[in-house]
Amino acid sequence: MTALLRAVLFDRDGTLVVDVPYNGDPEAVVPMPGAAAAIARLRAEGIAVGVVSNQSGVARGLLTLEEVDAVNERVDELVGPFDTWQCCPHAPEARCTCRKPQPGLVLRAARALGVDPTETAVIGDIGADVGAATSAGARAVLVPTPLTRQEEIDAAPLVADDLAGALDLLLGAPQSDAGREDHPEAAA
């Protein structure tokens, strides 16, 4: 890696926690396997952690900012804590600069953490997460779920089977999955 890794930003739904569409209920939060261990590993390395999350349910009237905050607090309790939370409450048609794949959330998070975007990585489960990272000048690792489209996997610069594998790619630890070239879905 060319730049020092000082921060890792995570997508929330489908990456840190099981995706429950438009979730406004903290009791419905279920961590993804390995999420808490990944955050603990980064903290042990002295790397800041944050969350960048599209929450268009607010603009659609399906949830309130208070409900989003309550769910985020529950994620903090179960997986975190996180050093910064950056959420976009806008609908896609608003064409804001913060909604992933635009770089706004990543840039805001880097600024809040006092790091340069080039010293940051984003881990997410869809192409919008990768797009936001690359648009901001950050590194990106895709951790596909069954909902991730094949073209998103094919286009991702780095692909890992899980959060531990994503951190191995970013931190340079030895692993059996050497990135997208050996990733079973990337070869499909």
Question: What range defines the domain where residue 112 resides?
Answer: 7-187
- 131 within 8 A of 100, measured Cβ to Cβ: yes
The position carrying tokens 């030895």 is 174
Is 1 within a domain? no
Is 88 within a domain? yes
Q: Would you say 11 is a known binding-site residue?
A: yes
Q: Would you say 98 is a known binding-site residue?
A: yes
Annotated catalytic residue: which of 13, 129, 168, 177?
Answer: 13
Q: Which residues of the chain have pLDDT under 50?
A: 1-2, 175-188
11 carries an active-site annotation: yes
Is 123 within a domain? yes
What does the pLDDT read at residue 36?
97
Q: Would you say 96 is a known binding-site residue?
A: yes
What does the pLDDT read at residue 46?
95
Is 31 within a domain? yes
What does the pLDDT read at residue 26?
97
What does the pLDDT read at residue 137?
97
CATH number of the domain bearing residue 39: 3.40.50.1000
Domain count, the chain: 1
Per-residue pLDDT tens digits for 28-64: 999 999 999 999 999 999 999 999 999 999 999 999 9
Q: Would you say 183 is a known binding-site residue?
A: no
- 186 within 8 A of 169, measured Cβ to Cβ: no
Per-residue pLDDT tens digits for 10-29: 999 999 999 999 999 999 99
* Strand partners of residue 123: 10, 141
Q: Strand locations in 68-181, DSSP E? A: 84-88, 120-124, 139-142
- 3-class SS of residue 88: strand
Is 2 within a domain? no
Q: Would you say 125 is a known binding-site residue?
A: yes
Which of 27, 25, 26, 32 shows the shortest CA–CA distance to 11? 32
What does the pLDDT read at residue 172?
84
Is 124 within a domain? yes
Residues 6+ away with beta carbon under 8 Å from 57: 21, 22, 24, 63, 68
83 carries an active-site annotation: no
Contacts of 65-70 with C-beta under 8 Å, sequence gap 24+, read 65/89, 67/24, 67/25, 68/24, 70/24, 70/26
Residues 6+ away with beta carbon under 8 Å from 33: 162, 163
Is 77 within a domain? yes
- Sheet holding 84-88: strands in order across? 84-88, 48-54, 7-10, 120-124, 139-142
Is 55 within a domain? yes
Integer Cα distance of 45 and 154 in angstroms: 30
